[in-house]
Amino acid sequence: MSAVPAFRSVQADSAEVAALKSKSNLVSVSLGSKIISFSDEFFAEASNLLKDEEAVFLPDVFTERGKLMDGWETRRHNKKYDWTIVQLGYPGSIFGFDVDTSHFTGNHAPVVSIEGANCSEEEVLSGKAQFEEILARVDMNPSAHHYFVYTAPTKVYTHLRVNNYPDGGIARLRVYGQVVPQALVVSSDGLVDLAFVGNGGRAVACSNQHYSSPSNLVLPGRGKTMGDGWETRRSRTPNHSDWVVLKLGIPGAVRNVEFDTRQFCGNFPPLVTLHGTVSEEDTPADDARWLEVIGGVPLTADKQHYFEAEKHHGVAFTHVKFTMYPDGGIKRIRINGCPAVSA
């Protein structure tokens, strides 16, 4: 068994947290994550931990069991400890955590630890899964975000067990990491969405993310609200453009693309381009050579747009750069193509 990397607590306004948030949240419901089992959820359901939205507080709302809390809250006076097991949407290595106790003041979990396992759901449910501690017991403060960063990414895990000592509430859990595909997700036409998070794709750089993160661009589905796409601030500078660089999960030749502006009606980009490059770096160097894959094409409101890539079919790109003129928002980007082994 390999050693778990060391971790440290970091401040919410640090550059380390900003880097963490550029990773995928491996326990997001948008990735298909779910609660497998739990010891108790008397006051509030464990599934709230996985919500993408920030926790809210409704001071005057009560249920038959007490105050309605937007998080996971267990009953009082536990003589041991409470726990819940989360199945990641996709297996992945972990770079860090945010354990969030927002709005839990006199009822937060005072101490938390986290364990990880790489196993099947059946092994978890049968009790055969082998969990190892990956975040030793750490103290929690009331109504606060607690960020922990590893010195190196962990090995790949499929399930996490969150331990709550001895009881209480946690609003949200964010597990920032990198999806490590076990098998490529292939569409019915035999092509692969090279940028899809389930295939290991991710956003590695962008010009601006004032309203929402570019990591949303490669998520499954078409999203629920305008907030789970990528949207930049309004520009006031002539000839402005905003851009995002996506690292493909596997290098490949681009055949066709989809640009989805669902729910972006008064703020979609009027013109966009797509370029590709080949780089061994996580983020291509400033002097990287970008080849045009899709020329300037117009987009419209709240629509899926499909374009054929007519250039550079012989190039197995590692990254693509999507540019909006001058700014705006887009929900999803699909880069459909042939992996390098068959390009």
Q: What is the dihedral of CA 178, 183, 189, 191, to 10 degrees?
A: 50
Global pTM reads 0.89
What residues contact 320, with CB distance under 8 A and at least 6 apart? 195, 245, 246, 248, 254, 274, 275, 276, 277, 293, 335
Give per-residue burial for 259-282: e unless 16+ CB within 10 Å, then b. bbbbbbeebbbeebbbbbbebeee
Task: List per-residue pLDDT tens for the chain, 343 residues long.
Answer: 578 999 999 999 999 998 898 899 999 999 999 999 999 999 999 999 999 999 999 888 888 888 889 999 999 998 899 999 999 999 999 999 999 999 999 999 999 999 999 999 999 999 999 999 999 999 999 999 999 999 999 999 999 999 999 999 999 999 999 999 887 877 768 899 999 999 999 999 999 999 999 999 999 999 999 999 999 999 999 999 999 999 999 999 999 999 999 999 999 999 999 999 999 999 999 999 999 999 999 999 999 999 999 899 889 999 999 999 999 999 999 999 999 864 4
Q: Decide if 268 contacts 300 (C-beta within 8 A).
A: yes
Q: How far apart are CA 274 and CA 327, in angstroms?
A: 15
Of 228, 231, 220, nearest to 266 (Cα)? 231
According to DSSP, the residues that pair with 73 across neighbouring strands are: 44, 169
Alpha helices in 107-181 (DSSP H): 121-125
Residue 343: what pLDDT?
43
